[in-house]
Structure 1
Amino acid sequence: MVETMTAPRDPFFPADQSIRASSAPVDVRAMGLVDYQKAWEIQAELAAKRATDEVGDTILLLEHPSTFTAGKRTQPEDMPDPSYPVPVVGVDRGGRITWHGEGQLVAYPIIKLAEPVDVVDYVRRLEEAIIEAVRKAGIDTAGRIDGRSGVWVPAATRAASPEASTRDRKVAALGIRITRGVTMHGLSLNCNNTLDHYSHIVACGIDDADVTTMTLELGRQVTPAEMEPLLVDALLRALAGELVVANHSFGSAPDPTKGLKKRS
């Protein structure tokens, strides 16, 4: 998750202009199943090198073993019972707690942003890329809820699988950090993962909506491997300004991070 941001101004860059500092091709790395802590270390190393131009822009694509990650605004009541057998990792991104696991496609863009750095525009471009990929796969109504980050399916849309929630449903989450103009962390897209672990936390600090998967919404198995090329293509085009951010909002809701102190 990111801490929800609104844009009372136009983006710093025209919608059809790249937000990247470089025009060189992005190195896209498919890494398979990677321990969360190990992936975090890889990100940190790449980000430090990207800041000094030792490496170019990179997108890491992977899955994690089952892990809860607690962002800087996570509250005690969000957390799982200490006896629950899934590790909790405190992380240096915005937002509150979420879950990662197999069947969920995770993308970590390590991108040096053009100056002046526009965090809001970067987040909106990531969301636009996810919306594009999800809609191409068949969820035509996927969009945004103003006041909340990520990509959502509206309650008005009936999921193909009867076990899916009938409330607004989050299909993809965002959580970022930008240091020295370089992005870290990124997004997670629920493909065919279990949702069981979400019931042990207050996911993203939101208790008036639910989470879903591509598989539940479409009524067929949708794997990370299927979504990977769609997501990568959309991410590259969104960062380049070829996929222009559009208004896909279908509702609004309270910001789950507003007024909360950062965890110590």
Structure 2
Amino acid sequence: MTAPRDPFFPADKPIRADAETPLDIRHLGRVDYEETWHLQAELAKQRAANEIGDTILVLEHPNVYTAGKRTQPEDRPTNGLPVVDVDRGGRITWHGEGQLVIYPIIKLAEPVDVVDYVRRLEEAVIHVVRQLGVDEAGRIDGRSGVWVPSTRKAADPSASTRDRKIAALGIRITRGVTMHGLSLNCTNTLDFYEHIVACGIDDADVTTLSLELGKDVTVEDAAAPLLTALDDVLSGRMTVADHTFGSAPDPTKGLGRKKKNSN
């Protein structure tokens, strides 16, 4: 995503309000989505009140669909599984086993720059995905997340040949503190994506590190380098670069919040 303006902070400056204090990294294992959502809300409240420092939750979820504020009725699953309607941006997505999920609970420096924060998260993921072997990973202007271009041939022949998303982002910022975050597809199945319009996008697909590289790349393989990259990018030690390889319509532009359907 190309920023419509220069960021409020120079690229080599921290976006964290308290960049001097080390991040509190919490590895939660495999945890229920709604339970973790409530934990995030409590931690965000504590962070806003300066009762705790910046915290990052590292985890997997059991299989679950989550619908952001811009989810449309036609996005919702066709397989009858329930959906958690949640307070982040974006549309519908899936979380499940084999997918790395990271939720930063970060107090941002003022003035809060949401675009810069999103771009920094993307930069950390792009850095790690390329480090692991998907050298062409980058951005599509108009769409959030990290993408693999159609021009790259995946090692696994079952992978899509269209542009494909390898990492998704969805955030909420309240009282200057971030919630939700990013998910990186590692060894997870893609079957559950077949029953939704993932992120409201029907002209591209999804992929995993394992499909792209033709070998298992686990959550554990990706977690350590991604945590290091996140620390670097939020603190200004890693700067955002232009990794854009294409452009496409924004799937959330002009959409209000829709009334949810029963599932």
Report whether the alignment pairs 1:129 with 2:129: no
Question: Which stretches in structure 2 are left out of the alignment for 5+ residues?
Answer: none
Report whether the alignment pairs 1:66 with 2:68: no
Task: Indicate the residue corresponding to 1:116 in structure 2.
Answer: 111
**Distance in 1 between the 2:154 and 2:7 partners?**
34
- TM-score, scaled relative to structure 2: 0.97
* Alignment check: 8 A CA contact 1:153 1:169 kept: yes
Q: Secondary structure at the match of 1:65?
A: coil
**Distance in 2 between the 1:87 and 1:163 partners?**
28
Write the mapping of 1:27-42 to structure 2, written as runs, cut at 5 A.
27-42=24-39
> Displacement of 1:95 after TM fit?
0.5
- The letter of the residue matching 2:6 is D
> Displacement of 1:262 after TM fit?
1.2
Question: Which of 17, 20, 31 pairs up with 1:21?
Answer: 17
Write the mapping of 1:228-247 to structure 2, written as runs, cut at 5 A.
228-247=223-242
> Displacement of 1:131 after TM fit?
0.2
Task: Indicate the residue corresponding to 1:187 in structure 2.
Answer: 182
> Displacement of 1:64 after TM fit?
0.2
Per-residue displacement from partner, 1:88-120 (whole Å, max 9, x unpaired)? Answer: 100001100000000000000000000000000
> Displacement of 1:6 after TM fit?
5.3
Write the mapping of 1:81-230 to structure 2, written as runs, cut at 5 A.
81=78, 84=80, 86-230=81-225
Tell me the matched-pair count.
258
* Alignment check: 8 A CA contact 1:6 1:120 kept: no
> Displacement of 1:259 after TM fit?
1.1
- The letter of the residue matching 1:167 is R
* Alignment check: 8 A CA contact 2:73 2:258 kept: no
**Distance in 2 between the 1:42 and 1:136 partners?**
32
* Alignment check: 8 A CA contact 1:50 1:182 kept: yes
**Distance in 2 between the 1:75 and 1:91 partners?**
13
Q: Secondary structure at the match of 1:69?
A: strand
- The letter of the residue matching 1:238 is V
Task: Indicate the residue corresponding to 1:263 in structure 2.
Answer: 258
**Distance in 2 between the 1:259 and 1:6 partners?**
18
> Displacement of 1:261 after TM fit?
1.3
Question: Which stretches in structure 1 are left out of the alignment for 5+ residues?
Answer: none
**Distance in 2 between the 1:125 and 1:168 partners?**
22
* Alignment check: 8 A CA contact 1:27 1:56 kept: yes
- TM-score, scaled relative to structure 1: 0.96
> Displacement of 1:7 after TM fit?
2.6
Task: Indicate the residue corresponding to 1:9 in structure 2.
Answer: 5
**Distance in 1 between the 2:240 and 2:168 partners?**
17
**Distance in 2 between the 1:174 and 1:234 partners?**
16
Per-residue displacement from partner, 1:72-98 (whole Å, max 9, x unpaired)? Answer: 0000000013x52x3310000110000
* Alignment check: 8 A CA contact 1:172 1:187 kept: yes
* Alignment check: 8 A CA contact 1:237 1:243 kept: yes
Q: Secondary structure at the match of 1:124?
A: helix
* Alignment check: 8 A CA contact 1:126 1:235 kept: yes
Q: Secondary structure at the match of 1:29?
A: strand
**Distance in 2 between the 1:263 and 1:132 partners?**
35
Q: Secondary structure at the match of 2:146?
A: strand
CA RMSD of aligned residues (A): 0.9
